[in-house]
Amino acid sequence: MNRIVRAMLGRLAGMALVLVIVATVVFVIVRVTPGDPAAVMLGSDATPQDIADLRSRMGLDAPLIVQYGQFMLGLLRGDLGQSIFLGQSVGQALLARAEPTFFLTLFSILIACAIALPVGVLSAVKRGTVFDQIVVTLTMIASSVPSFWLGLMLIQVFAVSMGLFPASGYGGPDSGFFERLQHLVLPAVALGVVNSALITRFTRAAMLDVLGDDYVRTARAKGATERRVVLKHALRNALVPIITVIGLSVAMLVAGAVVTETVFGLPGIGNLVVSAVLRRDYPVIQGTLLVVAAIYVLINFVVDMLYILVDPRVRL
């Protein structure tokens, strides 16, 4: 137990350092990127003087070091800043967009795992068969399909032609929870199918690695059923790389569903980042990227902890 606690504390300290570095890098990148929130806010009619006046009112004309100091001090207080455009704090903006992103990620990864784990295991067990060849081919195709293209095709078929699901958005003011979730079906399928390809390939490869090992042969020699051999002896030992790729997929979904959220008009965190970048809403860009980085680091941390649970031989 002490070993696990020590590992956790070490990892947490590393996470804090990573986040400080991320905050600094994001601050610098945002400021050196051309573009100005004041110019965006005032529109194309604005004169340079108008823009300069608004920059001054927003505090954007303060020296960079002062702005950086204010940003870091805010972070220490847990304050991510105030959005320039949204009329709310960055924390509030993130919270308002957490629900669609959370459920989109959850449904996508559930769909991906529901497809990938059984198909990957079966494909490895039936290595070299027609089924295996079909799986290898389909996963190659699925991993090459851009999720936005698949999304548009799904909209065309299931929203426009069949009218089964809404084409975009996340419901109106009077939409209940389940009505809102309906809006997530098509994007979750689009992301789930694309992500399932990678997880299937990893599952198949990991299973192939262990299926030829001595302990699997021993289990069979002891008379264990094939089902028990595959699911208890082989799959358990193949889980470490599979958990790694699932963890990475979850992290990528939180941070990387940007295109899918844009195509489906979902007001999630990915969409928030895109609109913030286009508007140069500095506090939102900084705060959102920092939170996404924190989630990314946290998921990696959880994955590391899962290694220990799954395989006691793992040393962190």
Partner 1 sequence: MTKTTFLAGCLAALAAQASMAQAADGILTVATIGEPPTLDAMQTPTDIVLTIDQHIFETLYTYDAQWKSVPLLAAGMPELSADGLTYRIPLRQGVTFHDGSAFDSADVVASLTRWMKVNSKGKQVSEVVDSLSADGPDAVVIKLKSRYAPLLATLSQASIILPSEKIADELTEFVGTGPYALKERRPDQYTQLVRFDGYVSPEGEPSNYAGKRQAIAKEIRFVPVPDANTRVEGLISGQFDFADSLPVSAYDRVEASDKAAPVIFQNQGWTSMNMNMKQGLLTSKELRQAVQLALNPSDMMLAAFSDDRFFSVDGSIFPEGFLWHTASGVTRYGEGDPEGAAKLLEQAGYDGTPLRILTSRQYEFHYKIGEVAKAYLEAAGFKVDLQVVDWATLTTRRADPAQWDIFITHSNFPGDPSTINTITDSYPGWYVSDQKAQAVSTYLASTSDDEKAKAWEGVQSVIYDDAPLFKVGNFNGLSGIAKGIPDYVPTYWPHFWNVTPKE
CB of 314 to partner 1, least distance (A): 42
Q: Which two tokens stand for residue 31?
A: 């400021």
Query: In 3D, which of 86, 148, 92, 102 has the Cα closest to residue 275?
Result: 86
CB of 156 to partner 1, least distance (A): 7
CB of 61 to partner 1, least distance (A): 14
Q: Which is nearer to partner 1, 263 or 292 (CB)?
A: 263
Q: Which is nearer to partner 1, 71 or 282 (CB)?
A: 282
Q: Which is nearer to partner 1, 246 or 285 (CB)?
A: 285
CB of 254 to partner 1, least distance (A): 17
Helix (H, G, I), strand (E, B) or coil at 185: helix
| DSSP code of residue 63 | -
- Cite the beta strand spans of the chain per DSSP E: none
Query: In 3D, which of 96, 102, 135 has the Cα closest to residue 119?
Result: 135
Contacts with partner 1 by CB under 8 A lie at: 33-36, 39-51, 54, 57, 85-88, 93, 96-97, 152, 155-156, 159-160, 163, 166-170, 172-173, 262-265, 267, 271-272, 274-275, 278-280
Helix 269-279 vs helix 90-125: angle between axes, to the nearest 10 degrees? Answer: 130
CB of 189 to partner 1, least distance (A): 16
CB of 181 to partner 1, least distance (A): 15
- Nearest 5°: the CA angle 113, 117, 119 is 120
CB of 175 to partner 1, least distance (A): 10
Query: In 3D, which of 267, 249, 100 has the Cα closest to residue 185?
Result: 100
d(CA 133, CA 212): 20
Q: Which is nearer to partner 1, 207 or 276 (CB)?
A: 276
Q: Are 80 and 89 in contact (CB under 8 A)?
A: yes
Q: Which is nearer to partner 1, 130 or 160 (CB)?
A: 160
Torsion of CA 163, 268, 107, 243, to 10 degrees: 150
Q: Which is nearer to partner 1, 43 or 312 (CB)?
A: 43
Q: Which is nearer to partner 1, 10 or 35 (CB)?
A: 35
Contacts of residue 176, defined as CB under 8 A and 6 or more positions apart, other chains included, come to none
CB of 191 to partner 1, least distance (A): 16
Q: Are 277 and 285 in contact (CB under 8 A)?
A: yes
Q: Which two tokens stand for residue 112?
A: 């991906």
d(CA 235, CA 257): 29
